[in-house]
């Protein structure tokens, strides 16, 4: 190991490492750039002196896809501006590399902070003994902590046959079989962000009486009875008609 390190050190001294450096506004910590939705970010890539003047053309990539820049913005110094950062830019990696030597490169990753998009009230009507799902968009960076409340209190999930799920994008509270005395009330999905504080969505759940559905079975039976009667009537009339004819 020691021998290897010494050899590497020697190599460093003999051939200085070729490099590109990325400067950013706001500045990055290491290769992670913290920003927020709707902010503007500027990235500037520069070649260092060790790079051959004839090989100074730079290229930018966003998550591996080439970013096209003006020719005059490619030599020895190349700037890229991301106007109005979006949620979708979270986790995106920008890479700058020397066109003639891809191994001379530098990267920066976006860490885009955004609050959960929750701040409203929904009225929900569910039929007696039917199921209902209350759902909340909990996407946020940094991630949020979630709690379901009912009529102001933390919901007791051990009673009422509630089912909850949360995949970090959508959080759901299911009531498989609504019963008015048990389930009617005001539910809140409340999320707490370490950066943006508390946000919530309110659901006013009302359990309504079952609506009588149009009875399909008896209807078909009724239609069949009517058809049979018509056919029978025709047959008996036909007999009469035939008898009439014979008599003549």
Applying CB under 6 A, the residues found at the interface with ligand NAG are 102-103, 105, 119, 199
Write down the least CB distance from residue 103 to ligand NAG, Å: 4
Write down the least CB distance from residue 118 to ligand NAG, Å: 8
183 vs 200, beta carbon nearer ligand NAG: 200
* Phi, psi torsion values for 176, nearest 5 degrees: -65, -35
CA gap 111, 29 in Å, rounded: 11
Query: Which residue in this structure is represented by tokens 């990539």?
Result: 61
105 vs 161, beta carbon nearer ligand NAG: 105
105 vs 174, beta carbon nearer ligand NAG: 105
105 vs 192, beta carbon nearer ligand NAG: 105
Write down the least CB distance from residue 20 to ligand NAG, Å: 10
Write down the least CB distance from residue 131 to ligand NAG, Å: 29
Write down the least CB distance from residue 120 to ligand NAG, Å: 7
102 vs 163, beta carbon nearer ligand NAG: 102
Write down the least CB distance from residue 65 to ligand NAG, Å: 12
17 vs 230, beta carbon nearer ligand NAG: 17
CA gap 104, 92 in Å, rounded: 20
Write down the least CB distance from residue 102 to ligand NAG, Å: 3
43 vs 199, beta carbon nearer ligand NAG: 199
DSSP codes, the chain = -HHHHHHHHHHHHHSPPP-EEEEEESPPBTTEEEEETT--EEEEEEE-TTS-GGG-BEEEEETTEEEP--GGGSBSEEEEEE-S--GGGTT-EEEEEETTEEEEEEEEEEEEEB----EEEEEEEEETT--EEEEEE---BS--EEEEEETTEE--TTSTT-EEEE-SSEEEEEESS--HHHH-EEEEEEEEETTTEEEEEEEEEEEEPPPPPP-HHHHHHHHHHHHHHHHHHHHHHHHHHHHHHHH-
């Amino acid at each position: 190991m020691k021998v290897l390190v010494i050899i590497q050190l020697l190599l460093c001294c003999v051939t200085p490492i070729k490099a590109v450096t990325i400067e950013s506004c706001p500045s990055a910590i290491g290769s992670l750039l913290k920003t927020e939705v709707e902010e503007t970010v500027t990235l500037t890539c520069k070649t260092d002196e060790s790079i051959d003047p004839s090989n100074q053309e730079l290229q930018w990539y966003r998550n591996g896809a080439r970013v096209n820049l003006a020719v005059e913005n490619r030599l020895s110094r190349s700037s890229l501006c991301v106007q109005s950062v979006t949620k979708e830019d979270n986790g995106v990696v920008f890479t700058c590399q020397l066109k003639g030597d891809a191994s001379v490169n530098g990267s920066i990753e976006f860490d885009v902070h955004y609050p959960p998009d929750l701040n409203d009230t929904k009225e929900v009507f569910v039929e007696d003994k039917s199921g209902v799902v209350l759902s909340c968009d909990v996407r946020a960076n940094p991630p949020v902590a979630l709690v379901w409340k009912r009529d102001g209190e933390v919901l007791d999930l051990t009673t009422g046959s509630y089912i909850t799920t949360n995949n970090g994008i959508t959080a759901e509270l299911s009531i498989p079989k609504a019963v008015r005395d048990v389930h009617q009330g005001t539910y809140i999905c409340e999320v707490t962000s370490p950066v943006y504080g508390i946000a919530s969505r309110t659901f006013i759940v009302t359990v309504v009486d079952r609506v009588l559905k149009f009875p399909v079975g008896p209807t078909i039976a009724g239609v069949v009875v009517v058809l049979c009667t018509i056919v029978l009537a025709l047959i008996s009339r036909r007999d009469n008609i035939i008898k009439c004819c014979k008599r003549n």
